[in-house]
Amino acid sequence: MTGCCSWNDVFQYETDKIIRIQSKTYGTIKWFFHVVLFSYIGELRRCAAEVWLCCSFLWHVEDSLTMGACSQTPLRCQYMSVKVLLIENSWIGFLKNIFIVCIVVYNCFALVSDKRYQRKEPVISSVHSKIKGIAEVKREIMENGQKKVVWNVFDMADYTFPLQGNSFFVMTNFLKTEGQEQGLCPEYPTRRTLCSSDRGCKKGWLGPLSKGIQTGRCIDYNKKQKTCEVFAWCPVEAAEKAPEPALLVSAENFTVLIKNNIDFPGHNYTTRNILPDLNSTCTFHKTRDPQCPIFRLGDIFQETGDNFSEMAIQGGIMGIEIYWDCNLDRWFHHCRPKYSFRRLDDKTAKESLYPGYNFRFAKYYKENNTEKRTLIKAYGIRFDILVFGTGGKFDIIQLIVYIGSTLSYFGLATVFVDMLINTYSSKYCRSHVYPWCKCCQFCAVNEYYYKKKYESIVEPTQTLKYVSFVDEPYIRMVNERLLGRSLQDVKGEKVQRSQLDFSDLSRLPLSLHDPPPIPGQPEEIQLLGEEARLKSRDCPDWCQCGSCLPSQLPENQRRLEELCCRKKLGACITTSELFKDLVLSRRALQFLLQYQEPLLVLDADSANSRLRHCAYRSYTTWRFGSQDLADFAILPSCCRWRIRREFPKSEGQYSGFKSPY
C-alpha cells in the first residue's frame, strides 16, 4: 500500500537531517546567544545564527559570481529547506504518536477549561454601599472628679463616614476630648513634654508630635507633674490607649448592602449583582445564600478567621472582593459574582508601630460666643470593595491564535525522540549499558539512525590534513602545526575509513577484463608487507618503505612532505599491481580525463601536467574513499615521486600540497 493512510505510515518517524559544523566561530556565537539571551528564547538564537550563516553564504556566492560570471540570475531569492529522514521503526513511530496524542489531548483540555477560544475583557464597575444597624454604647466619664456611666445610642450617622473610592468606614471605638477652646494650657505629660523649669521649654517650638506652640514657660499640669505651656486647643487631648473592650463592639451585628453594577463595553453587556427577585431580608452565607448582597460584618470576619471584638479595639482594613467570571456565550451563558473576603492591613497589630486604623475629627459649636469643639479620635474598620474579573465571548481570531500557538508543542515529540536517539547511540551506552542490560540491547539500533541523521563536518582549517598508511586500517586526521616534526611522526586522530561502495568500483576506469587464466598456475593475490625490503642508504630516515625521496620544497614547508606510505617497515605501495592499474596507467587516466571532458585533446605540453594531477586525485580517491577526506589528503613521498617520474614536469619546481580553502 502506498496510500497516505496505510498503517505503516503511522509507525514512522521523520526528523531533520542536521549538519554539525565544527567551527569555533559558530560555536562561540551559539554559546554567546545561549548565555546572553537564555535558552528559552532558543528560536531567536537559531534565527540569528541562520541569518549569519545565510549572509556569509550569500557573500561567498557573490564572490564566486563576480569571479566566475557563470550566471546573471540574482541568487538572493533562495529557498532553504531541511532534509527529512524517514525512520521506519514501529517503536519510535508509536512513541511519536503517543506523544502527539497527549499533546492534542492537553491542548483540547486547555482550550475548553481555560476557554481559550474567547476574547476576554476586564470588568468596569461602580459600587455603592449602605450600612444599617444601631449600637448602644456604655461609657465611663469623669464629672466633677466622680466616675459616671453614660449610655448612648449610635445610629448610621454617628458611626459611618463617607470615604473616597469603593470604601466605607465603620467606627468601632473612639476617644473623646470635650469642650476644647483656643488658649494657653500645659501639654499632656509625656517623656518629651515634662519639665522642671522654664529652661526646659523653648518659646515658639513646634514639635511634630506636640499639640501646640510652646510659650517657653514650665507650669503645673497637676500636683505632681510640670509640663511646658502651649498655645493650643485646650485642654489638650490625653495620649490614652484605645478603650478595651471596644465601645461599639456590637457593630458586628451591623449589615451592609453592596450594590455593584458592571459593564463589559467591548461585549456590550451590562449587569448588576442585585437581581430583581432578591429577598431583602436575606444575609450572605457562603453556602446557604452565596448570591445575597447583604453582609453581616461579624460574618465577614468569621470568613477570614479574624476576631471582630479584637480588631474593633485598634481598627483595621478589610477587603471585600467581588469576582466576576462571565461567560457571555449564548450556549453557556453565566455571569454571577463571587464574593470573598481578605484582611488587608497588618495582622501583627501588636508588634507594629502604629497598629490598626484610626483618624481624628471634630464637632464644632459655639458657647457664650466662644468657638469650642469636641475632638474625637475614631478607631474603626475600613472596608475596601475590590471588583475584578473578566468577561469572555467566542472569537474566531482568538481560536486561530490559540491553535497557532499550540503548534509549537508538537515539536516536543521530535525533540524527545531525537533526545532518545542521541542518548542511546552514545559510546557510553555501547560500552557500559548494553553489555550489562539485556533489555536495552535493542536500543543499539539507534546508533544506526544517529549515523544516518547526523553528519559531522570538520572545519577546513589551514592545518587540516588526512594521512593514510597502507599498513593501517584507518585514516589519521592531523589538525595541528607540524612545528619541526615530520608528518610521518605526528600521531593525529583516528578516522573511520568510509564504507566501501562497490557501485563506485564500476566507475573506475579499469580495463579489467580478465586475462585468460594461465593453466597450471594458481591465482595469487599480491600481499604487501610480505617482502620487507631493506632501506637503501639514500632514503630519508623517516621512510619505512625504501622508496621515498627528500622534499624539494623550501625548508619551512618541507616537513609536510615527509611522509611515507607505511607506518612500519615493509613493502612500498607503489610496488603493488593496483597502484599501477589505478594511478599510473596512462590509459586509465586518459579515460578519466575524457570522461569529464569528452572532447579533450591532450597535447604534449599539457598532457603530463593534467595526467599527473589526475593521478594524484586517483590515488587520494582510492586510498581515502570519501571526497571530503581526499581534498585534504597528503600523498606519501614515494607515491608522489613515483607519479612525478611517470608524468614529469618539463621545467620548474613541483608546487606541493595546498589547502583547497
Query: What is the three-class DSSP state of 168?
Result: strand
Contact positions with Zn ion (CB under 5 A) in 613-642: 638
By beta-carbon proximity to Zn ion, the closer residue of 160 and 547 is 547
| Candidate list 564, 582, 630, 634; residue touching Zn ion; CB under 5 A | 564
Element at 77 (helix H, strand E): none
Whether 357 and 380 have beta carbons less than 8 Å apart is answered as yes
Smallest separation, CB 500 to Zn ion (Å): 22
By beta-carbon proximity to Zn ion, the closer residue of 308 and 469 is 469
- How many residues at the interface with Zn ion, by CB under 5 A? 8
571 lies in the site for Zn ion, by CB under 5 A = no
Contacts with 12 (C-beta within 8 Å, 6 or more apart), sequence order: 86, 87, 88, 89, 93
Alpha-carbon dihedral angle through residues 409, 415, 417, 418, given to the nearest 10 degrees = 160
How many Å apart are CA 179 and CA 188, to the nearest integer?
16
| Candidate list 15, 358, 425, 547; residue touching Zn ion; CB under 5 A | 547
| Candidate list 545, 592, 593, 629; residue touching Zn ion; CB under 5 A | 545
Whether 621 and 660 have beta carbons less than 8 Å apart is answered as no
Backbone angles phi, psi at 158, to 5 degrees: -85, -35
Owner of C-alpha cell 511634630: 208
By beta-carbon proximity to Zn ion, the closer residue of 183 and 529 is 529
Pick the stretch among 18-26, 43-51, 499-507, 558-566 that binds Zn ion (CB under 5 A): 558-566
Alpha helices in 114-179 (DSSP H): 156-159
Smallest separation, CB 595 to Zn ion (Å): 28
By beta-carbon proximity to Zn ion, the closer residue of 127 and 543 is 543
60 is written with which cell numbers?
561567498
322 is written with which cell numbers?
467581588
Packing angle between helix 604-624 and helix 637-646, nearest 10 degrees? 150
By beta-carbon proximity to Zn ion, the closer residue of 473 and 519 is 473
Pick the stretch among 11-19, 195-203, 254-262, 547-555 that binds Zn ion (CB under 5 A): 547-555
Smallest separation, CB 575 to Zn ion (Å): 8
543 lies in the site for Zn ion, by CB under 5 A = yes
By beta-carbon proximity to Zn ion, the closer residue of 13 and 616 is 616
According to DSSP, residue 485 is labeled: S
Taking every pair of C-alpha atoms in the chain, what is the biggest distance, in angstroms? 156
565 lies in the site for Zn ion, by CB under 5 A = yes
Calculate the alpha carbon distances from 238 to 195, 359, 403, 509 in Å: 17, 15, 69, 118
Tell me the pairing of strands 118-122 and 475-479.
Answer: unpaired
| Candidate list 572, 582, 584, 593; residue touching Zn ion; CB under 5 A | 572
Pattern 281-310, Zn ion, x by CB under 5 A: ------------------------------
By beta-carbon proximity to Zn ion, the closer residue of 125 and 547 is 547
By beta-carbon proximity to Zn ion, the closer residue of 565 and 630 is 565
Query: What is the three-class DSSP state of 357?
Result: coil
Smallest separation, CB 660 to Zn ion (Å): 25
| Candidate list 171, 228, 311, 548; residue touching Zn ion; CB under 5 A | 548
Q: Where on the chain is the footprint of Zn ion (CB under 5 A)?
A: 543, 545, 547-548, 564-565, 572, 638
